[in-house]
Structure 1
Amino acid sequence: MQKKGRTIYQTARLYTDFTQESASERLNISCKSIGAYERGETIPPDEIVIAMVELYHTPWLPYMHLKLNNAVAKKYLPDIQLRDLSSSILDLQVEMDNTNKVQLGMATIGRDNIVDKHEETEWEKYMANLKSLGGALFSVVFSPIQKEKSPVLVHRRFEY
């Protein structure tokens, strides 16, 4: 999920235009530590990630931190796309529509609390659909919002 050497920690800092020096002062850690996190040499401890979230105003950072660094989260949390609010909402609408289309099939299989061998393949498709829906939902929750409308809307893409 990294792009051109950027880590989520560097992306978060650059999104808010902090330098490593100014961020290190506010986070009360060394520039060397920030550099190591941003190069992927070390993983920041949870308390530093919490401080980064609060300093950088990046609510998506703890989710991505867990998704990239925790075996359970890697395996079970849905992937998310970090994009602008309108794109995230459109993706959520598409995923909700897809879920509505398969809802009867899910109910038919699940109403007896048993997924038979001949139902497993179809059930796995439904579960993949729900996981995509969860990812789209988190994408909306973590999308940056503008506090007021501006004459020129700047779309910032998260790249890491």
Structure 2
Amino acid sequence: MLVRLLYASRATEAVSPALIDAVLAASRQHNPALGITGILCWGGDIFMQVIEGGRDTVNALYAAIVRDPRHRDVVLLHYEEVSERRFAGWTMGQVNLAKINPSILLKYSEKPQLDPYSVSGKVSMALLEELIATASIIGRAG
């Protein structure tokens, strides 16, 4: 059974290009063997990530993220059983929201910045759908 999980967290250390590269490299190395796909968005110290795959695998990965000391304020925003993957083309796509037109972010929140803590999971998923539609996600695999 396939599931899609969306969560938000805050970094416990300064977010640097090297940190993002390390996270993405590890995801892209390990996710294919686990059958995990998804995307990672970040802005400032906030991360928002979708992970898709088998229910047990996704649940175990999320549990590991919750325990990871590099994350704080981990919040489950959306979880659903799905008949097909939405992010199947990405072993782990990425979006640096600092490089996105602020009007896209403003469309979905009170301010033109990533704040999944102040909107519903449904709104956060709608933002991600728009980022796909506007080709704002990079790092497509395959």
* TM-score normalised by L of structure 2: 0.25
Name the structure where strand makes up a greater proportion of residues. 2
Q: Report the structure number with the largest CA radius of gyration.
A: 1
Name the structure where helix makes up a greater proportion of residues. 1
* TM-score normalised by L of structure 1: 0.24
